[in-house]
Each structure stands twice: as C-alpha cells, then as structure tokens.
C-alpha cells in the first residue's frame, strides 16, 4: 500500500501539466464550459452538471461569486469537480480578498490539485445582492497574475520564501467586442500587460458576431500575440435575453438577424443550437478553442458538440 507522502507527491507533481494546457500547447481545439456554484449547500445541480459535461469538455470554469452574488465558494466547487472526474478552472476575483487571502487560496488550490486559474478583477459589490459590502481590490487581474508568478518562483509578495512552490496554468479574460477604437486599444494594452504578468491563455467575453471576432484576431496577429484565445460562447435562450444583453451588458452585441431568428422560432432550443453551431463553425479557424457558457442549459452541450464534431 502506498503511504500518504507518495500519494501527495503524485497529486502535486509540478511537472504534470493540466489537460487544458497540454491541449492548447499541442495546438488542438480546446473546449471549456462553466459552472456557477449554488446559493446554498445543496450540490445536486453541480453533480448533475458534472455528469453531463464529464468526458466531453477539457475543463470547466467555476465562477467566483459571479455578479457579486453570495454563493458557495469557487475553491470548494473546484474540489468537488475534481472528485467527479472533471478538471476545473479556478476563477479568482480580487474584489473580496486582500493579497494575503488571495495568495493563501492559491496555495490551497494547488495543494488540492487545482492548477488552472483564471484571474479576474471582479464586478463591484454594488451590482450584487449585498450592495452594502465593502470591496477590497487590493490587487487587480494583472497583479494577481504577477502574484502567481511570484509564488511559482518560490517567494510570496512580501519576498518570504515558500516551503515548496506551486505551478499554475494562468488564464485571463479579454473583450473582443469593445465598441470604440479607444476601448479596443485598451483591451490590447491590458492583454499585453497580462501576458507580461504571466497569462498563458485567454477566454473572451461572449461573441455573437463572427466578423467582429475576425477583426479582433487580425489585430492580434499584427501585435504578434501568440497566447491561445478561447472564444466565449453563450447559449442564447430567447430574443428577450438577447435584447437584455444588448442593453445592459457592455461589450456584447447580439446582431438583429439572430434576434429575429430567435423571435420567429417556435423551438428556442433548436434555434439556439443552429445559431451556436453556425457561429462556432465560423470562428473555429480563428480561435484556439471555445468557452461555452450554458447558463443552465448544460444538457444541450453534448448535442451541440456532437453536431460540430469537435
């Protein structure tokens, strides 16, 4: 029988890359999905979603108090997903923790075998269900990436040596749908800063217009950015959802022809699958993968991927 030390050494082998990292570094098309932890301790939905996604996606993001709404923690949910046989991506926002807590949670994640980390600044608390809570923002997404690099080098942000250092596959986000040239230039500037701070892959905000993504990737090529980019895909449930995002979600634009298609369809699921399949087929030659945000429609992801043959 193996002793505890040998088991721990296997689970924390710093030479072992994550499945997502291997796939992207091999130039293969990667597929990630997303899970939002419940507002409570009933993890039935996490288990059910894990059963649906297991074996058909490469990794699954776990949101970190998304939209500043109090929920079960991302780290605990990531640990559950590993137990269910799914490789998680630990989303970390800087809104709720100072640098002490962020570094501690990063070390905790690594000890639990969680190496994929997506660095986010995080929505302000005023948009969530506890608007009276005080935001922290001791670090932002760029400095959080830098903090991961420091931990990997064997020291913390105070310059103190670690007894054993982690290795992460570090991710960041970018918005290809910035609606002015100035805001788009800012996205590229942030990308370059994030890469310099250690970002090894990017996931984008939701894309509904392949032409917009193509123009974005053309600019990426001109900047000679080689970091893999996974295009964000939202499963559109209705024309009302599309209009809501156009009105209230910055950087997202659902074209009118897609809204019309959803509005004129009696079968919203079939319309969604057709729209999403067509979009992914268009952007597949330009992207390194897709990040699918199913928003409760995870049961439709298997048929979508089967239709796409990816």
Question: Using one digit for the tens of pLDDT, what is the confidence trace for 190-215?
Answer: 999 999 999 999 999 999 999 999 99
Answer for the pair 30, 24: CB distance below 8 angstroms, yes or no: yes
Comparing CA positions, the residue from 251, 147, 157 lying closest to residue 204 is 251
Domains of the chain: 4-238+280-301 (3.20.20.220)
How high is the pLDDT of residue 1? 43
How high is the pLDDT of residue 6? 43
Answer for the pair 293, 205: CB distance below 8 angstroms, yes or no: no
Task: Report the alpha-carbon distance of residue 245 to residue 263 in Å, rounded.
Answer: 15
Residues 85, 90, 91, 93: is their CA dihedral positive or negative? positive
How high is the pLDDT of residue 61? 98
Task: Report the alpha-carbon distance of residue 77 to residue 82 in Å, rounded.
Answer: 9
How high is the pLDDT of residue 10? 45
Comparing CA positions, the residue from 235, 231, 207, 213 lying closest to residue 293 is 235
Low-confidence ranges of the chain (pLDDT < 50): 1-2, 4-11
How high is the pLDDT of residue 310? 74
Comparing CA positions, the residue from 304, 148, 275, 274 lying closest to residue 207 is 275
How high is the pLDDT of residue 143? 98
How high is the pLDDT of residue 250? 76
Task: Report the alpha-carbon distance of residue 145 to residue 118 in Å, rounded.
Answer: 9
Task: Report the alpha-carbon distance of residue 87 to residue 204 in Å, rounded.
Answer: 20
Write a three-state SS string for the chain: CCCHHHHHHHHCCCCCCCHHHHHHHCCCCEEEEEECCCCCCCCHHHHHHHHHHCCCCCEEEECCCHHHCCCCCHHHHHHHHHHCCCCEEEEEECCCCCHHHHHHHHHHHHHCCCCEEEEECCCCHHHCCCCCCCCCCCCCHHHHHHHHHHHHCCECCCCCECCCCCCCEEEEEECCCCCCHHHHHHHHHHHHHHHHHCCCEEEEEECCCHHHHHHHHHHHHHCCCCCCEEEEEECCCCHHHHHHHHHHCCCCCCCHHHHHHHHHCCCHHHHHHHHHHHHHHHHCCCCCEEEEECCCCHHHHHHHHHHHCC
């Amino acid at each position: 029988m193996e002793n505890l030390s040998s088991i721990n050494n296997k689970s924390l082998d710093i030479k072992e890359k994550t499945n997502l990292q291997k796939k992207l570094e091999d130039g293969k098309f990667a597929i990630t999905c997303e899970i939002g932890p419940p507002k409570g301790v009933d993890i039935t939905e996490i288990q059910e979603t894990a059963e649906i996604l297991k074996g058909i996606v490469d990794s699954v993001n776990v949101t970190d108090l998304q939209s500043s709404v109090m929920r079960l923690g991302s780290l605990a949910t990531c640990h559950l997903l590993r137990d269910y046989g799914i490789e998680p991506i630990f989303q970390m926002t800087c809104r709720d923790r100072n640098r002490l807590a962020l570094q501690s949670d990063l070390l905790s994640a690594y000890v639990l075998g969680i190496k994929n980390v997506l660095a986010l600044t995080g929505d302000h608390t005023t948009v969530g269900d506890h608007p009276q809570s005080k935001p922290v923002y001791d670090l932002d997404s760029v400095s959080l990436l830098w903090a991961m690099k420091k931990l990997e080098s064997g020291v913390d942000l105070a310059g103190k040596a670690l007894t054993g250092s982690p290795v992460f596959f570090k991710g960041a986000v970018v918005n290809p749908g910035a609606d002015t040239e100035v805001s788009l230039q800012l996205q590229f500037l942030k990308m370059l800063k994030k890469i310099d701070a250690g970002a090894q892959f990017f996931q984008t905000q939701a894309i509904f217009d392949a032409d917009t993504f193509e123009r974005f990737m053309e600019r990426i090529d001109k900047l000679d950015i080689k970091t893999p980019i996974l295009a964000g895909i939202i499963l559109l449930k209705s024309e009302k959802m599309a209009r809501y995002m156009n009105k209230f979600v910055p950087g997202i634009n659902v074209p009118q022809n897609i809204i019309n298609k959803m509005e004129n369809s009696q079968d919203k699921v079939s319309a969604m699958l057709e729209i999403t399949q067509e979009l992914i087929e268009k952007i597949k030659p330009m992207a390194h993968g897709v990040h699918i945000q199913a928003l409760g429609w995870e049961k439709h992801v298997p048929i979508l991927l089967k239709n796409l043959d990816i």
